[in-house]
Amino acid sequence: MRLSPEQRGLCESVAVEADLPTAGSKLGVAANVRDARLWPLNGLRHPPEAGTNGWYLWRGPHLADSDEFFSPLHIDHLADWCSDAVRFIALPPGWRFLVGPGQEDVWYDPSLLEL
């Protein structure tokens, strides 16, 4: 995966250095992330660990509290599963996004870096 101009521009717009996930790393995705009709699209990034890149993605207004809500997905398959998330994936750990029709929010959440 290479840093795209769109990813670079997004990181520059929030004044952070791009941190593209390592090729072959895994992210956590909810099964509903493939349903492009369901909004909003949510993403948050914890620090990478044990082969993961820290990203978790889901759609809809609520994050379920079930251990089975997220499944692992190799970053190489993200564009096939959820192309809407690709432009945000270079945001570093501690960042979140929420996207919906006519809405785009990107913000830093220091609680994502707490152990």
Confidence of residue 89 (pLDDT cuts 50, 70, 90): very high
- Reported as a single tens digit per residue, the pLDDT across 75-84 is 999 999 999 9
HEC assignment per residue over the chain: CCCCHHHHHHHHHCCCCCCCCCCCCEEEEEHHHHCCCCCCEEEEECCCECCEEEEEEEECCCCCCCCCCEEEEEHHHHHHHCHHHHHHCCCCCCEEEEEECCEEEEEECHHHHCC
What per-residue confidence (pLDDT) applies to 108? 98
Cβ of 24: how many Cβ atoms within 10 Å? 11
- Reported as a single tens digit per residue, the pLDDT across 10-22 is 999 999 999 999 9
